Structure 1
Amino acid sequence: MKAVSQIKLPIEHEMELFEKKFSNSMQSRVPLFNRITHYVVNRKGKQMRPMFVFLIAKMIHGDDPLSDRVYRGASVIELIHTATLVHDDVVDDSNKRRGFFSINALWKNKIAVLVGDFMLSKGMLMCIDNDDFDLLRIISKAVREMAEGELLQIDKARKLDITEEIYYEIIRKKTATLIAACCAMGAQSVWATKDEVKLMEKFGELIGMAFQIKDDLFDYGEAKIGKPTGIDIKEQKMTLPLIHALNTAPADKKRWLINSVKNHNTDKKRVKEVIAYVKEVGGLDYAVKKMKAYQEQAMELIKPYPNSPYKDSLVLMVDYVIDRKK
């Protein structure tokens, strides 16, 4: 967490103020909602997404205090992100989130779905009530893309016919689109030019791609970091190292890999054999190379900006995304 506190340093004041505003934005007249949202707010993660909003806004806007519009942009992003996590836990039947019980584990699925819906509508209304229709467009596009990405992944997982191109499309929509929205939101909330907003959106997308590939790599780690080894294989999720192994495997080995993932994904010994084969044929090295290429492209996009603590923190953030241990 040391890296995260270092990244946060130039926007510490903004993040403190954001937490208060975000907490207020979750208020409802229904006591049960307030109990649950209080539980959510007190178990916040690293808050990388609002950090992106503030760092981009400050890099473009400079040291002057930020308007309420930027805080609304960050709150909308965090509300939508939290709503998708709550819904994901229901879909995945997951009882834990960030080491704590998930909402569906404590209050059951029906309430969890309603809480997710409540957060989504809160986020949308926050934009509408303040005539921030440009910010609403950014987040609405992200929600649409995330849903499309999830459905595309489910559709392709049935046949395990994911090419590298389709894999990139899935992760761009599923993961990268929300980080892209954070960066676009940071620029748009300080009235940056159309081109600059597009540039920041691309910057966020590239980081998001690197972020997801890093997540894929955790599935092949020895240590119990992030998630148990082989869980993606167990869930029949096609990760980049596995796709590379399938693409380079001779026909008989390819059949064995597909059969292992489709029909023997709960057999620990078989999963270990798959992981060993993926490592052996350079699947991990290939994924690391691709991840670093996305990182370098992202760095290039912010190079022209004058040096500032905010730019330095963004560079640290990009490094953190690919160096993190979970």
Structure 2
Amino acid sequence: MSLDSKATKPHDRLAQALADDMAAVNTLIRERMSSEHAPRIPEVTAHLIEAGGKRLRPMLTLAAARVMGYGGPYHVHLAATVEFIHTATLLHDDVVDESGQRRGRPTANLLWDNKSSVLVGDYLFARSFQLMTETGKMRVLEILANASAVIAEGEVLQLTAAQNLATTEDIYLRVIRGKTAALFSAATEVGGVIAEAGAEEVKALYDYGDALGIAFQMVDDLLDYGGSAAETGKNVGDDFRERKLTMPVIKAIAQATEEEYAFWKRVIEKGDQREGDLDHAMELMRKYGTLEATRKDAIGWTDTARAALAKLPAHPLRDMLDDLADYVVARVR
């Protein structure tokens, strides 16, 4: 989901408020992605990290720590850790998905090769764990290590669920909790932990990140059937062409007639797609109102995120996080 539009005011305000902290994060990232003996590591890493991403996840860590009154240096380490984990997963994902483009640029696996992408991703995971340990907090290590495992688990689950018509909404939620929400929730949770916030406040930060990540991915999936390439970074219908079972399709399959089910089986499970199939798929989703239902689901998750924020101390950054949650679903309201 792109955040590059005039509607990015919440994200832009957050970036401006955290500018000094983010500058420190960027400096630390550049230091730690270096390698004395393998120059390809910084080459590959820089290609992706400096490709214009919005750094939303590390900003969530910084904002969470600041909302809870943290004044030490280690929120910067944790924000860099989160960005390294995110970058590592992107490198691995592009290999798995055989992607040729990300953020409008050729992917690392295309410019170099699959081996380089996988191994540099592994290096960044290792770097992230080095950064975690420097905080001296075992709970931080536990949270981010668990998130890394959940992300990998979600990706493996997606391999088996993506083209299986038996995939349910619950399984889909488990997948997106892994591939997207796990790092969002870890990013906000560790911000609270490093600030030594109370258990209820740390839980509220976790809940905010979890719900925000789920809404974020749902909107991304929804826009695939109704957004523009400029908004989404991909062409409308790419998920359909790649035979990905996302929430609008899962809801349509659950209500399908025998004839409609046969259509979904042909285009998703068998991969036999013909001219006009995308239009027919859109017709079926409109027939059962699944795009609208998915939109309401996403709004429900942002409502959950904002309710969690309300449990935290009043703070200008808390208000920006609240606005950010609203913005995630602004284009599908």
Q: Deviations along 1:235-272, whole A, 9 cap, x unmatched?
A: 22111111111122223322222223223554241122
> In the alignment, what sits opposite 1:303?
310
Match of 1:176 in 2: 181
Match of 2:131 in 1: 126
Is the CA contact (8 Å cut-off) linking 2:165 and 2:253 kept in structure 1?
no
> Where do 1:216-235 residues align within 5 Å?
216-221=221-226, 223-224=228-229, 225-226=231-232, 227-235=234-242
Provide the C-alpha distance between the structure 1 equivalents of 2:198 and 2:289, rounded to a whole number of angstroms. 43
The answer as to whether partners of 1:233 and 1:265 remain within 8 angstroms in 2 is: no
Q: Deviations over 1:198-232 (max 9, x none)?
A: 22111111111111110111121153331212221
State the one-letter code of the partner of 1:51: M
Give the alignment partner of residue 22 of structure 2, picking from 15, 18, 24.
15
Aligned to 1:239: 246
Q: Point out the more displaced range, 237-246 or 77-86.
A: 237-246
Q: Which moved more, 1:201-210 or 1:126-135?
A: 126-135
Q: Secondary structure at the match of 1:298?
A: helix
**Rounded Cα–Cα distance in structure 2 between residues aligned with 1:34 and 1:254:** 48
Other-structure match for 1:317: 324
- 2:48 is aligned to 40
Q: Is the 8 A contact 1:8 1:313 kept in 2?
A: no
2-side partners of 1:304 and 1:222: how far apart?
Answer: 34
* Amino acid in the other structure paired with 1:253: E
Q: Which runs of 5+ in 1 are unaligned?
A: none
Kindly provide the amino acid, as one letter, of the partner of residue 185 in structure 2: A
Residue segments in structure 2 that go unaligned for 5+ positions in a row: none
In structure 1, the residue matched to 2:191 is: 186
Pairwise CA distance, 1:158: 4.5
Contact (CA 8 Å) 1:213, 1:291: kept in 2 or not? yes
Question: Residue 53 and residue 324 in structure 1: after superposition, are their counterparts in 2 closer, same or farther (change >3 A)?
Answer: farther
Matched, 1:97 2:105: no
Deviates further, 33-42 or 106-115? 33-42
Partner of 2:204, secondary structure, is helix
Separation in 1 of the partners of 2:19 and 2:192?
A: 19
Match for 1:32: what amino acid? R
Task: Quote the RMSD (CA, aligned, Å).
Answer: 1.9
Identity over aligned pairs, percent: 31
How far, CA to CA, are the matches of 1:56 and 1:222 in structure 2?
A: 31
Report whether the alignment pairs 1:164 with 2:169: yes
Separation in structure 2 between the aligned mates of residue 232 and residue 300 of structure 1, nearest angstrom: 31
Measure, in 2, the Cα distance between the counterparts of 1:217 and 1:101.
25
Query: How many Å separate the matches in 2 of 1:72 and 1:265?
Result: 48
3-state SS of 2:112 partner: helix
**CA contact under 8 A between 2:266 and 2:273: conserved in structure 1?**
no
TM-score (norm 2): 0.90
Amino acid at match of 2:29: F
Distance in 2 separating the partners of 1:116 and 1:206: 27
Query: Could you tell me which of 255, 262, 268 is aligned with 2:262?
Result: 255
Count of residue correspondences: 322
Q: 1:68 to 1:324 in 2, by over 3 A?
A: farther
The 8 Å contact of residues 163 and 268 in structure 2, kept in 1 or not, is answered as no
TM-score calculated relative to the size of structure 1 = 0.92
One of 59, 68, 71 as aligned partner of 1:60: 68
Contact 2:77 2:135 in 1 (8 A): no
Q: Distance in 1 between matches of 2:294 and 2:325?
A: 17
TM superposition outliers: structure 1 runs of 4+ over 6 Å? none
Tell me which residue corresponds to 2:92.
87
The answer as to 2:147 corresponding to 1:142 is yes
For 2:321 and 2:66, the matched residues in 1 are separated by 11
**Superposition map of 1:104-119 within 5 A:** 104-119=109-124
Matching residue of 1:72: 77
Instruction: Report the Cα distance in structure 2 between the residues aligned to 1:34 and 1:245, rounded to whole angstroms.
Output: 45
Distance 1:183 1:25 in 2: 22
Tell me which amino acid in the other structure corresponds to 1:322.
V
Are the aligned partners of 1:230 and 1:272 in contact in 2 as well (CA < 8 Å)?
Answer: no
Task: Give the letter aligned to residue 115 of structure 1.
Answer: V
Cα distance between partner residues in 1 of 2:68 and 2:312: 8
Q: Distance in 1 between matches of 2:256 and 2:169?
A: 14
